[in-house]
Structure 1
Amino acid sequence: MTGPAPVVARLRTAVRDALADLPDGALVLVACSGGADSLALAAATAFVAPRAGLRAGAVVVDHGLQRGSAAVADRAAQACRRLGLAPVEVHPVDVEQRGRGPEAAAREVRYAALETAARAHGAAAVLLGHTLDDQAETVLLGLARGAGPRALAGMAPVRGLLRRPLLGVRRDETLAACAAQGLEPWHDPTNADGPLAPLRSRLRHRVLPVLEDVLGPVAPALARTAEQLRDEDALLDSLAHELLTLARVSEPSVPDGGADAVVLDVQALAGAPAALRRRALHRAVLDAGARPGALLRTHVLAVEALVVAWHGQGPVALPGGGEARRTCGRLTLRGSPAARGERAERPRTHEET
């Protein structure tokens, strides 16, 4: 009796390792689009979960952005059911861009749908099919945009309910795993190259092959960079949290602060190292209601100037209609009422980097 193909065994091992800490009887949900990565993940999870004493289901999010998307979602759901996953649900969503690109908007509603499904079923984890190649693309995009260490740390293997078992697996391995198991993945037309293709698709088909040809195996190197930066990023996050706890004023002394304002002691912030202070201010502005994708380094530096380069200047406008203001040795950060309401309604299980 022969065992599974080596690539199938590799994916199963990756999933087994990712689920090792879950208690017996816990439910895990696979986010499955029907593409090779998520379908290979669904197959590996369907094999591993019952042998590990776990239950496994799937969630298919239909973004409705392409003609025939409902049929694609139904096909993915049927494939998951044939693998033995249960429950399997299709979640149609409405993607409203509201000033964001279509990819960012789709990502936000997708994670919200996954959060809703996990909460409804009491799932202990939601598994995502991001691969090493996705990680490399994320890091390269961050480098091109001049992003800081948070973005260059890429996607975390575990963040809240979300788990990414395949971050050490190449995209061609998921295709091979599907072929070895007789699975027919859906090939998203937006992943193909072309003048109107999304930026990530153009990077995948045009830029990375050139880098690989000139520099060798770039994708694994970029993924290693993300892994190394992630530990440092976690340490900085912990230190920034301590700084914010020290600087936060529990009773706002600024008349227009408002109940939802974040009020910080300027002196406590001024004495911190610049990198730590900026990270703390970045977190504080998000806590005040700014949308992560709209908050730029220029905003953080302008807020920091109220702390370290104060000469009586007026308030700093924050993305989304909020403001930062210094008064009487206090830094007050306020989001707009609309931003605060949106923040209250928006799940924060996805990665806000």
Structure 2
Amino acid sequence: MTLHPALAAVRVPVRTVLGRLEPGDVVAVACSGGADSLALASAAVFEGHKLGLRVIGVTVDHGLQAGSAAQADRVVQQLAAMGVDETVTARVQVDGLSRLGPEAAAREARYAVLEEVAGRLGARTVLLGHTLDDQAETVLLGLARGSGGRSLQGMRPAFGVFARPLLGVRRDDTVTACRVEGLEPWDDPHNDDPAFTRVRVRHRALPVLEDELGPGVAQALARTADQLRDDTALLDDLAAGVLEAARRPGGLDVEALAAQPPSLRHRVIHRAALEAGAPASELTRHHVLEVDQLIVAWRGQRWVDLPGHLRALRRDGLLVVEPAAP
């Protein structure tokens, strides 16, 4: 019997990722019960068991919606029915709603607990169900915000213990794969709530672009992310070398930094601020450019205030990032 194209679309990249593991290894699959993660979990069971892997299904209850506990229980039942070796339910307290917003705060809490669960289970990798459509939405949001190349590179295929095998798979394929396998996905009401910017991008902005520019916009955005990711990785490696060469006791050599092109110098400033304790979510390009003026347009400025109660200043030929005075 010929394998349905949607099933093949999901299983092939999952097989590629799991093929890097050894028989007996543990792989965890994060599953919310939506079509993307259900299709991913089913593919992980099918391909993982053929490779002799132990597949564990993990669902995270964020407690942000009424009935979330019941939905988590339903996902556990679905995972057990498809043949995972073990199921885990993790309930988290989502903090930072006012600082990050509900989506980012939930994501932060989810990744933290998934990493903790992976460590406890001895999982070599944790699979996440983000698709090509999610990637396109991320890139488009980055374009709209003017966030620069780092944001436009979108979601990484792998980072730390996490892997995203479906970044090249369309959402329609995960929905169809569930239908073919008789799986009943959960429709998260947040995914249709226009109060969320990502939902408006999904249901309004991308369809308009497809209508006006022709089909293939999502794929083009995803390709852009892939290309920028390669470029960013190279620039980051070069900037790391510049940072190490510029280190001096007490700070960074201003002359060494001034000799570098802006793209590398700005990355060094960004990394130096992060190393000093600046929150990544609050450190903006405006901060970086202001600090850059201390290097290339020095006229006796006092300092530049940075998030995290820090300040950057120029002292004795060094760029210094230090705690702000009380």
TM-score by length of 1: 0.88
User: Which SS does the other structure have where 1:91 is aligned?
Assistant: strand
User: Which SS does the other structure have where 1:292 is aligned?
Assistant: coil
Whether 2:220 is the aligned partner of 1:221: answer: yes
Between the aligned partners of 2:272 and 2:178, the Cα distance in structure 1 is 44
What is the aligned partner in structure 1 of residue 256 from structure 2? 268
What is the aligned partner in structure 2 of residue 104 from structure 1? 104
Q: In structure 2, what residue type is equivalent to 1:223?
A: A
Alignment of 1:66-85 (within 5 A): 66-85=65-84
Contact 1:32–1:39, Cα closer than 8 Å, also in 2: yes
What is the aligned partner in structure 2 of residue 21 from structure 1? 20
Aligned residues: 323
Contact 2:253–2:317, Cα closer than 8 Å, also in 1: yes
Between the aligned partners of 1:70 and 1:171, the Cα distance in structure 2 is 26
Q: How big is the alpha-carbon RMSD for the aligned residues of Structure 1 and Structure 2? A: 1.5
Contact 1:318–1:335, Cα closer than 8 Å, also in 2: no
Q: In structure 2, what residue type is equivalent to 1:86?
A: D
What is the aligned partner in structure 1 of residue 62 from structure 2? 63
Contact 2:140–2:221, Cα closer than 8 Å, also in 1: yes
Q: Report the Cα offset of residue 335 of structure 1.
A: 5.5
What is the aligned partner in structure 2 of residue 281 from structure 1? 269
Between the aligned partners of 2:87 and 2:314, the Cα distance in structure 1 is 52
Shift of the 13–306 alpha-carbon distance from structure 1 to 2, 3 Å rule, reads: same
Contact 1:132–1:169, Cα closer than 8 Å, also in 2: yes
Alignment of 1:24-43 (within 5 A): 24-43=23-42
Alignment of 1:154-165 (within 5 A): 154-165=154-165
Q: In structure 2, what residue type is equivalent to 1:209?
A: P
User: Which SS does the other structure have where 1:21 is aligned?
Assistant: coil
Can you list the C-alpha shifts for 1:305-347, whole angstroms capped at 9, x where unaligned? Answer: 111111221121111322212211122223679xxxxxxxxxx
What is the aligned partner in structure 2 of residue 343 from structure 1? none
Q: Report the Cα offset of residue 88 of structure 1.
A: 1.7
Q: In structure 2, what residue type is equivalent to 1:52?
A: L
Q: Report the Cα offset of residue 60 of structure 1.
A: 1.1
Shift of the 123–336 alpha-carbon distance from structure 1 to 2, 3 Å rule, reads: farther
Contact 1:91–1:113, Cα closer than 8 Å, also in 2: yes
User: Which SS does the other structure have where 2:156 is aligned?
Assistant: coil
What is the aligned partner in structure 2 of residue 149 from structure 1? 149
User: Which SS does the other structure have where 2:281 is aligned?
Assistant: helix
What is the aligned partner in structure 2 of residue 236 from structure 1? 235
What is the aligned partner in structure 2 of residue 350 from structure 1? none
- Match among 195, 204, 207 for residue 206 of structure 1: 204
User: Which SS does the other structure have where 1:323 is aligned?
Assistant: strand
Can you list the C-alpha shifts for 1:101-131, whole angstroms capped at 9, x where unaligned? Answer: 1111111111111111111111111111000
What is the aligned partner in structure 2 of residue 190 from structure 1? 190
Q: In structure 2, what residue type is equivalent to 1:20?
A: G
What is the aligned partner in structure 2 of residue 321 from structure 1? 309
Can you list the C-alpha shifts for 1:55-98, whole angstroms capped at 9, x where unaligned? Answer: 21122111111111111112112211222223321111111225
User: Which SS does the other structure have where 2:99 is aligned?
Assistant: coil
- Match among 277, 295, 298 for residue 307 of structure 1: 295
TM-score by length of 2: 0.95
Residues 42-51 or 4-13, more deviating: 4-13
Between the aligned partners of 1:74 and 1:314, the Cα distance in structure 2 is 58
What is the aligned partner in structure 2 of residue 292 from structure 1? 280
Q: In structure 2, what residue type is equivalent to 1:276?
A: L
Unpaired segments ≥5 residues, structure 2: none
Between the aligned partners of 1:229 and 1:148, the Cα distance in structure 2 is 10
Contact 2:36–2:131, Cα closer than 8 Å, also in 1: yes
Can you list the C-alpha shifts for 1:4-55, whole angstroms capped at 9, x where unaligned? Answer: 4221122111100122222232211111111110110000001001112222
Contact 1:132–1:168, Cα closer than 8 Å, also in 2: yes
What is the aligned partner in structure 2 of residue 341 from structure 1? none
Contact 2:9–2:173, Cα closer than 8 Å, also in 1: no
What is the aligned partner in structure 1 of residue 49 from structure 2? 50
User: Which SS does the other structure have where 2:221 is aligned?
Assistant: helix
Residues 319-328 or 7-16, more deviating: 319-328
Identity %: 56
Q: In structure 2, what residue type is equivalent to 1:323?
A: R
Structure 1 outlier segments of 4+, above 4 Å: none
Between the aligned partners of 1:266 and 1:94, the Cα distance in structure 2 is 44
Between the aligned partners of 2:4 and 2:163, the Cα distance in structure 1 is 24
User: Which SS does the other structure have where 1:99 is aligned?
Assistant: helix
Contact 1:290–1:335, Cα closer than 8 Å, also in 2: no
User: Which SS does the other structure have where 1:245 is aligned?
Assistant: helix
